[in-house]
Structure 1
Amino acid sequence: MKAPMNDYLTELLDICGEDDGAVADYIPELAQADPDRLAVAIATLDGQVYSAGDADVEFSIQSISKPFTYALAITDLGLEGVLERIDVEPSGDAFNEISLEPSTGRPRNPMINAGAIAAHALVEGGDAPKRFERILELYSRLAGRELSVDEGVFESELDTADRNMAIAYMLKTVGTLEDDPADVVRGYTRQCAVSVTVEDLARMAATLAANGMSPDGTRVLEPAVTRQVLSVMATCGMYDAAGDWLTTVGIPAKSGVAGGLIGVLPGQVGIAVFSPRLDQHGNSSRGVRVFERLSADMGLHLMEAPESARSVVRTPRVRDDGEPSVHELAGDLRFVESERVLRGLEAEPEGDGVVVLDLHRVHRVHDVARRMLLEGVRRLRIDGHEVRLVDPDGLLPDPDVDVSEPGDDTPRDGYVPQVFDSLDEALAASGG
């Protein structure tokens, strides 16, 4: 069966592809970016990545680097040590605002430039080059490949780094920064010039979503570190639009002026969007719309909690050739669980074999899961399969009804799968 996720993401980009905003023009190299680039990627915790659009185009990570360097600073110095130098309060200011606490001289939070420059300086390394080497190594581990610096972006940004240099000297003056301000700004600028794709960012976000665990089971960051980073991303990651973002989208996020935008849904997925045109807050304008639509379509808002803590398991039944293929589901079905089911259905070869979806242990099917499962049924039918549903509680609507638009009762190519009360009945009817 052909995977529906990539098709959905392609349609999503078409819907959210209105052209507005402007590229960042205060950095000459970024001003030359193609404003029409648009890409999205979703990475699951076990390493599956879905993408659409200009997913292979590289761009500079910019401020999306901030949460990851903050994580490394906490790893090196401990949370208390970092909090002595950098606060975690939303500033309500633009990303490059000179914003310090009057009483302590601490930057308001690590997501604005003042806090990010201070966080960069707290990473251990012995000297500036070794410090950056450790930062790049972390980014590469999170992305699952070796990343590099776009030297053109680095030089261009360093040539226009007067404001960041002023922030660094101010931090030095109040005692927050101990190292040479010029060295720190040079390293911070290099950090922002690391080249990534939207798929790299989705993988990096997914590792945060997995409590710091990479898809291969390697621990990259400690759970306490990821919790701190995600908390600050939720309240401060979108600058002076953070409050509006958290209430409407409800996903911890971080943006960058090259047009990148990541979101982390703890325990579920990492998401990234790339579109260079920025809104008045310095966030990708189309990227924001893509996230708004994803959150609404897939029920990803953090405050949209499930009714219970039931676990969901998919236990495939292995059968001999010619016998029905059985996919058993249990618990509450949301986006993440249904994505795993669809991935299992993708392995079904084309042909006239019988596929049974057993929902008799399912307690609840969320709207996004219902749409995904019905799309899976439709695509199995297109491949030639006979699909049988074990759905004694009627959790799915009639599968011959198109639920893509409210009120649309157009039959799905005349095919109506049979619904059974038990797995035994479904197998018997199909000759199993």
Structure 2
Amino acid sequence: MKTPIPDYLEHVLDEVRDIDEGEVEEGLPHIDVKDPTELAAAVCTVTGNVYTAGDAEVTFTMQSISKAFVYALALQELGRKKVFETVGTEASGEPFNELSLGRETNRPMNPMINAGAIAVNQLINGEDSSVEDRVEIIRAFLSELAGRELKVNEDILDSELEDSDRNLAIAHMLASHGVIHDDPRQAVISYQRQCSVEITVIDLAVMSATLANGGVQPVTGKKVLDADACRLALAMMGTAGMYDGSGRWMSTVGIPAKSGVSGGLLGTLPGELGLATLSPRLNPQGNSVRGVAIFERFSEEMGLHLMASDPIGTHAVRGIETEGEETTVQLQGSIHFAAAERALDKLSDYDFDCECIVLDVSRVSGFEKVGRVLVKEGLRRLRDDGFEIAIYDPKEKFGDLEFSDGTRAEVVGEG
């Protein structure tokens, strides 16, 4: 059975494809945003399964998305005390490139705005580090998160440095208050090199899933970060990752997230998965218009809101038992997207040796919309593979039994 999850992602992209609101960031060189209609999505689970749709192989620079990961690296290298002395943890309520510091502390309000990100960049490898050494540590770290070697796009970097007056002003402000000790120009070069690391949405989803997995890269299995650094980075993504739209984002979408002006957007559901999208047109807050729309659908349809009270089934498949020519697959718990993905992944790898597959949902507490859709589509595909399909649902938890092709699943009683 081929998993239906990529088809679901394609369906979501099709729903937002005609949205043409927003503008490409004026400060970005044309070589970064090759086509403003580019659209892609990727999901990586903490078990290392990656699903993609759309222009998933298109490369773009990380821009501000890098802030969340470099903040985690600083926490790992120096500990929270040193990092908290340099940058605060409160939402600023101001645009990301505002020249502002905390009134009482004279420190940047948080690491997700440019002032905070430049300050955090300067912590890596110590204040006496050269730009080259500092950026190489960051690049190598980001590569470990992605599971492949990443590189700095030098052409985009050079173009952005030609128009870096705003960041240079921020760096001078930080230097005047003793927040950074490097030459402001060198500090900006170091920060812009960090932002110019090139990725795809696949990389971004895997990197996000590493944060979700407590610092263990889910594809390579390598421990890249401590759980505490991941937790604090996710907390900052939740409160300030979407800039002055962060409050509305967390109340409506409820997924810790970080955006970048090249059109990338990542989200992390702790313990479950990482999400990433690409769509270059931005809203006034600097966030991808279609990316936001996709995440809103993910949150509602997948049941991914962090504040949701329903538990997500860690082990959705209770058991698989074969008797004669009939195999019973028992599901359990609340079937959200993540639970459905785990169940479908197990079924797609299972070697069924029977004529009939019965799905037993008697121990399921409930189905989220996408969980139900994905499970039904998996059953339909098993049927198309040549198996008879039936459902045991004494509490009528499954609801609508109609498949995507208009046929219906057979319902069976106990025994």
Query: Among residues 160, 170, 174, which one is paired with 1:171 in the alignment?
Result: 174
Q: Once structures 1 and 2 are overlaid, which stretch shifts more, 381-390 or 78-87? A: 381-390
1:68-83 to structure 2, matched below 5 A, reads 68-83=69-84
CA gap 1:309/1:239 in 2 versus in 1, 3 angstroms: closer
Unaligned segments of structure 1, at least 5 residues: 405-410, 426-432
Residue pairs, 1:23-62, within 5 angstroms: 23-29=24-30, 33-62=34-63
User: Quick one: distance in 1 between partners of 2:149 and 2:29?
Assistant: 26
Which moved further from structure 2: 360-369 or 45-54?
360-369
> Which position in structure 2 is the counterpart of 1:5?
5
Q: In structure 2, what is the Cα distance between the partners aligned to 1:384 and 1:343? A: 19
State how 1:376-387 maps to structure 2 within 5 Å: 376-387=378-389
**Deviation (angstroms), 1:179:** 1.9
Could you tell me which amino acid in structure 1 is paired with residue 181 of structure 2?
E
Looking at structure 2, the residues matched to 392 and 66 of structure 1 have their Cα atoms a distance apart, in angstroms, of 50
Please say if residues 86 and 109 of structure 1, whose CA atoms lie closer than 8 Å, have aligned partners that are also in contact: yes
Q: How many residues align?
A: 411
Task: Tell me, yes or no, if structure 1 residue 257 matches structure 2 residue 251.
Answer: no
Rounded Cα–Cα distance in structure 2 between residues aligned with 1:305 and 1:33: 42
Residue 176 of structure 1: how far off its partner (Å): 0.6
Residues 248-287 of structure 1, C-alpha deviations (whole Å, 9 max, x = no match):
1111100001000001111111000001111111111111
Alignment of 1:125-164 (within 5 A): 126-164=129-167
Structure 1 contact 351–385 (Cα < 8 Å) conserved: no
Alignment of 1:84-99 (within 5 A): 84-99=85-100
Does the CA contact (< 8 Å) of 2:316 and 2:340 recur in 1?
no
2:235 equivalent in structure 1: 231
RMSD (Å) for aligned C-alpha atoms: 2.2
In structure 2, the partner of 1:365 is 367
Runs ≥4 residues deviating over 6 A: 349-352
User: By how many angstroms is 1:151 displaced?
Assistant: 0.9
Q: Is the 8 A contact 2:33 2:280 kept in 1?
A: no
Q: Does the 8 Å contact 2:243/2:285 carry over to 1?
A: yes
Report the secondary structure of 2:298's partner residue: helix
Structure 1 counterpart of 2:271, which letter?
G
1:55–1:348 distance in 2 versus 1, CA, 3 Å: same
Q: How do 1:184-263 and structure 2 match up within 5 A?
A: 184-215=187-218, 216-263=220-267
Question: 1:159-189: CA deviations, max 9, x gaps?
Answer: 1111111111110110111222222211110
Spell out, residue by residue over 1:123-170, the C-alpha distance to the aligned partner (whole angstroms, 9 max, x if none).
Answer: 116322111111111111111111111111111111111111111111
Identical aligned pairs, as a percentage? Answer: 46
Q: CA deviation at 1:392?
A: 3.1
CA distance in 1, matches of 2:32, 2:271: 37
- The Cα offsets for residues 331-371 of structure 1, whole Å up to 9 and x where unpaired, read as 33222111111122323679983223233333333333222
- Name the CA distance, whole Å, in 2 between partners of 1:137 and 1:285: 31
Letter in 2 for 1:412: G
- The 8 Å contact of residues 238 and 253 in structure 1, kept in 2 or not, is answered as yes
Change (3 A) 1:194 1:339: same
CA distance in 1, matches of 2:263, 2:21: 13
Task: State the AA in 2 paired with 1:417.
Answer: E
Which runs of structure 2 are paired with 1:305-324 in the superposition (5 Å)? 305-306=309-310, 312-317=315-320, 323-324=325-326
- What is the alpha-carbon distance in structure 1 between the residues aligned to residue 270 and residue 299 of structure 2? 14
Q: Say which SS state the counterpart of residue 122 (structure 1) adopts.
A: coil
Checking the alignment, whether the CA contact within 8 Å between 1:378 and 1:412 is kept in structure 2 is: no
Which residue in 1 is equivalent to 2:109?
A: 108
Amino acid corresponding to residue 283 of structure 2 in structure 1: D
Q: CA deviation at 1:212?
A: 1.3
What does residue 303 of structure 1 align with?
307
TM-score normalised according to structure 1 size: 0.89
Shift of residue 118, structure 1, vs aligned partner: 0.2
In 2: Cα distance, 1:297 partner to 1:149 partner: 36
SS of 1:2 mapped into structure 2: coil
- How far apart are the structure 2 equivalents of 1:83 and 1:30? 37
Residue 313 of structure 1 deviates from its aligned partner by 4.4
| Alignment partner of 1:356 out of 358, 370, 374 | 358
Deviates most, 21-30 or 109-118: 21-30
**Equivalent residue number for residue 117 of structure 1:** 118
CA separation of 1:337 and 1:31: change in aligned 2, threshold 3 A:
closer
**C-alpha deviation, 1:205, in angstroms:** 0.6
Which ranges of structure 2 fall in alignment gaps of 5 or more residues? none
Residues 387-430 of structure 1: CA deviation (Å, up to 9, x unaligned): 1323333321252x35x7xxxxxx832x4323232xxx2xxxxx
Distance 1:305 1:214 in 2: 27
SS for the counterpart of 2:412 is: strand
* Aligned match for 1:346, one of 348, 354, 360: 348
In structure 2, the CA distance between the partners of 1:310 and 1:278, relative to structure 1 (3 Å rule), is closer
After superposition, give the CA deviation of every residue in 1:87-136 in whole Å (9 maximum; x if it has no partner): 01111111111120122210011000000000000111632211111111
Show the 5 A alignment for 1:274-285: 274-285=278-289
Query: Are the structure 2 counterparts of residues 240 and 356 from structure 1 closer, same or farther at C-alpha, using a change threshold of 3 Å?
Result: same
